[in-house]
Amino acid sequence: MWRYASLAVLMWAVACTNDAAPDRPLAAETGRIAEDEVVYFVLPDRFENANPDNDQGGLSGNRLSTGFDPAHKGFYHGGDVAGLTRRLDYIKGLGVTAIWLAPVYKNKPVQGAAGQESAGYHGYWITDFTSIDPHFGTREEFARFVEAAHARGMRVYMDIITNHTADVIQYEGCPVQACPYRSRADYPYVRRGGVKGAAINDGFLGEGDLSESNFLRLTNPNFAYETKVPEAERAVKVPGWLNDPIYYHNRGNTTFRGESSQMGDFVGLDDLFTEHPRVVQGMIDIYGAWIDEFGIDGYRIDTARHVNPEFWQAFVPAMQERARKRGIDHFYIFGEVFDPDPGRLARFTRVDGFPAVLDFAFQSAVYDVFVRSTGTDRLNTLFESDALYEGGSQTAGKLPTFLGNHDMGRFAHFMLRENPGLSDDELLRRTVLAHAFMMFARGVPVIYYGDEQGFTGDGNDQDAREDMFPSRTASYNDNRLVGTSATTAASNFDTSHPIYRAIAGMSAIRAATPALRRGRQIVRNYVETPGLFAFSRLYGKSEVLIAFNTGASPLRANVEVDPGSASWRALHGVCAPASSAPGSYSVEIAPFDYVLCISEPRA
């Protein structure tokens, strides 16, 4: 249970809003680019339950039939699209300009081996790619949500999956979701059950020839395993072509290494044969239709690294063109490549053709510096790697940055795990400080729902997916939250929460200051210990200096600035009115705090 922080610390956190510029929309609203956005990532099932009538998705029976059990962290809890619509003003109050929602397509309600079942509340076990899952509401309710978000100036990014479907295809002789991967060398496409098996798929040349004529020779899916589909699920997938096992790799579970990374089943999920021309065109048709009908603003692409580059080279331009025809020139595509190495992330912008990828390298560096208290030189190393992306720093400015998420866990959990006995005061300060770094450094900041209410979680995956509406899950309700005495057993839409107010203040400053969204970033100072990290963002004749103190002691330092930046004013903290000398500016920063100083116009 959280213990009340001192009044001084609460006033400090709230003060982040006091320095904010007046609330006003971004200039040239229709001309917004990716760098202008502040994104809110939300799992609809865990956000707000506006319609209890859809909690069971129109199904009957126990939780293994309906998927609904609000007391269990692995089942549906009742949140829906109508709940998102109801709380749009709460989200907008954070300064959010775009909402990324976890998949809302129709899922297999429950899957998993006996005794290990869980539900598709997260949205990643799709059976019908063309429909809204009944647990989340109706097509009409989704349309109203998009319309209501757009009316508030907020964009909508849908989470999509092309790598896999729900687990429907089974393999003879294997337990559910437990078949080991069988390689192309040991189980070639032209032999049944191994190199010594009977000849099948005569003349098929594998992925070396991605032509339609080559794939017409692929007619038998039983090269590695004997596939089978339960009778009750033979037609469960929509569109109908997805029910044919020939459009899947059928090689068993991925080991996340080598060829299995792109051809293996992700924990039993049916891995699509994304090299196949029919699969490529089928996915283009599916997700193009969502753009056509609802006028959404972008796609976050799940498990991007587990799909072959040639697929993305066709799919990404097709989605961009579909959006342009719908009049959506700002369509934003970013892929999930779960890797902290910026070199490997950059590969997906250079080879696969992604305009942006989720910046796991940023998250890793923030974890080291703000959680584990490593030297701030780690951040400089991160930003030096921006040159690796296709388009260099310009592309790096479009990367979605984040502190934690639904898979790896929440930032505040990392802080508590790595720093046992951390006081409430320090936990709040360091949490706000990390959000400030995300909000003002290059990139597109992504707020994970609930972080603004001090959610901590107990770990990753299901343990980081708490309810915003009153929760019935005991393992959530006993958590220590940040900046509040509340628990998740009550509704958590408190706009006076110190973290909510801090983020709202940061968003207002960011919206009113083009340099903090679009400005070129130059690292000014870093150290090999906890302490100073400073950078400037330059835009037109404006320079904004942002300096952080990641250490537990106050600091005073001279920071290099542009020689033409002479007169300064504060956007946050205390800023000296003038440079100490041309090109040098003095900063004083309290422990776990930052200053935000602007000089405009430069000479």
Enzyme catalytic residues: 302, 336
Nearest to 303 by CA among 361, 248, 264, 276: 264
d(CA 552, CA 344): 34
Instruction: Report the candidate in 591, 575, 581, 541 with the shortest Cα–Cα distance to residue 561.
Output: 581
User: 572: which residues sit within 8 A by CB, 6+ positions away?
Assistant: 16, 19, 436, 505, 509, 594, 595, 596
Nearest in space to 585 (alpha carbons), one of 437, 574, 382: 574
Two structure tokens written together for 303? 């498990």
Alpha carbons 463 and 408: distance in angstroms, whole number: 10
Give the tokens for residue 217: 């020779």
459-463 contact pairs (CB < 8 A, 24+):
459/409, 459/413, 460/407, 460/408, 460/409, 461/406, 461/407, 461/409, 462/73, 462/74, 462/118, 463/73, 463/409
- What is the C-alpha to C-alpha distance for residues 41 and 98, in angstroms, rounded to an integer? 9
Residues 6+ apart with CB under 8 A from 154: 88, 91, 92, 96, 97, 98, 99
Phi, psi angles (nearest 5°) of residue 527: -135, 165
Query: Could you tell me where the beta strands, DSSP code E, fall in 308-377?
Result: 332-335
Q: Contact at 8 Å (CB) between 251 and 219?
A: no
Q: Judge if the upstream peptide bond of residue 239 is cis by omega within 30 degrees of 0.
A: yes
CA atoms of 111 and 539, how far apart (whole Å): 51
For residue 393, what are its two tokens? 């720093």
| Angstrom distance (rounded) from CA 145 to CA 224 | 44
The residue length of the chain stands at 603
